[in-house]
Structure 1
Amino acid sequence: MKTTFRNASLREHEAMRTVLARMADDQARAERITALKAERPDLTWEDIADRVGVKERSVHNWRSTGGMKYENAEKLAEVFGVSVDYIWRGGESPGETPDIMGSMNGEKSKFEERLAAVERDVAEILRLVRQRIGSVERDELEAEAGPPDEIAEKPSKPRAKPSRRGR
């Protein structure tokens, strides 16, 4: 059995990428925590530590490295009045609902034009379907009623047989 070192090398490379990604996430989290604290000058780092239930040294580590437990991120989010998603991942801006349509920068009018065109197409399709349903219903009613009276054949009188008398 031949051992290859290439697979192990690839795994180490992948593990390094994971560590680097985690470090980048932690650094971004540290920046968000520092920014939230700057918005609340009434709070000291000691106050924050007391409210979360950790030592002040832990809070200083969070603001410098961003490394923290998720449970502490939940408590910290309550202290600052933001979502835990904002603390943990940087989800949405604190206290704001994202404006998806406003972020389209000029694409909004194109989107609205396309939406109006689709609505017109749907309305036309509905009209055609209703028209087709109406004609099918009329055809079915006519089939049930039978042919109109003017067209219906009247039974003819039986013909009299010619007499043989005059021959």
Structure 2
Amino acid sequence: MTERHNTELHHLLSRAIDGVVLHGESDRLRELVRELEADLARVQGHACRVAEKLRKAERAVDQTEAYPTETSWIAEVQESDDQWMYLRADCDRAVVEQRIASMQKRFPQWKDGTPVNGRIIRKTTTYTVEPAADREPLTHLAKGANAEDCPACKGTNPPYPFLCPGPEQQPTV
């Protein structure tokens, strides 16, 4: 829709709101509204296509992550012997902070007068796709060899007789 159409639409809509639409103007107003709806449909369709392309690009960029990263928080307090004691773990950091504050409020210091210190540990778990190890393809033994001894036949349960279907053995000279 052009700038001129926008101006005309704005003018007709403001007159319609005031209740002063003339006979010929109502048809033009309907026409402009239809054009506007068509433009909106094109823009929405384009926006959906762009959003889908962005989602595909994001998936293509990070093909190494098998599952979303998981983050949890662990609360610990330092005992009087400088050892860290586990208090609580949660996926919400605020819950862990509240647990440390509660501990420090109830027990501001240990019996020996050492203050109760707390710390928060972030635990992040990632699931990364690792490339498969490059292995040489398994090759069959000579045709007619025992299939149980053949690395390519191992675990395939060939039909009786249990012979490897490998290549013909070259005659020795």
- Give the alignment's TM-score, normalised by structure 2: 0.27
Tell me which protein shows more strand as a share of its residues.
Answer: 2
- Give the alignment's TM-score, normalised by structure 1: 0.28
